[in-house]
Structure 1
């Protein structure tokens, strides 16, 4: 993407193209051992994917799996755009950490029903 545009301004197809480009850059950075650059591209991919998901799929006061973090779930206190605000819970269902955090919705998995 030559001209920097916000992910919120891109169409679904433009986001798919951006993600493909970022995956290519991340792979190259990984192959060259550029750990920090790789991490930046991975974060951008997560953000771009969030704009491809309908935030209305996620609800406050619900618990969701966290992709890549099987030891925790995420309790959503409220939604703000493509971010879910809340806190992680450990496997015993207890709050993990005191601080409220925001996760891009593309990091959330299935809703936990109990």
Structure 2
């Protein structure tokens, strides 16, 4: 039996391959109407994508767009692992953590 690698041990090509596998599983689950399974694969893919994000590009105190949540912005307070902790602007200012891959730079439009 082959032992599975942790995502933290994978190189960029292996991570990209895993993202492709997860997105394909999500697509199939969606086609079969298994919405909760679709959501699990989508979230897992976002976490794997976070391993490809350089944490140095996420600056505490800065504001970022949230991928998949049009018109919503997130102010980062601090980073811990693959997550940025902060709060959504215009909301209740409840602290929450978002995977790094969900944050997109407002200034460059990326």
Q: Distance in 1 between matches of 2:22 and 2:41?
A: 6
Residues 65 and 112 of structure 1 are in contact (CA less than 8 Å); yes or no, is this contact kept in structure 2?
A: no
Q: Specify the alignment match of 1:100 in structure 2.
A: 95
**Which of 97, 104, 107 pairs up with 1:109?**
104
Residues 65 and 71 of structure 2 are in contact (CA less than 8 Å); yes or no, is this contact kept in structure 1?
A: no
Q: Give the TM-score taking structure 1 as reference length.
A: 0.86
Q: Give the TM-score taking structure 2 as reference length.
A: 0.89
C-alpha displacement of 1:3: 3.7
Q: Distance in 2 between matches of 1:73 and 1:108?
A: 9
Residues 50 and 101 of structure 2 are in contact (CA less than 8 Å); yes or no, is this contact kept in structure 1?
A: yes
* Cα deviation digits, residues 39-59 of structure 1 (max 9, x gap): 000001100000011011001
Q: Distance in 1 between matches of 2:85 and 2:6?
A: 21
Which stretches of structure 1, 4 residues or longer, exceed 2 Å deviation after superposition?
2-6
Q: Which segment is superposed worse, 103-112 or 45-54?
A: 103-112
Q: Distance in 2 between matches of 1:40 and 1:72?
A: 22
Q: Within 5 Å, give how 1:1-114 maps onto structure 2.
A: 3-90=3-90, 96-112=91-107
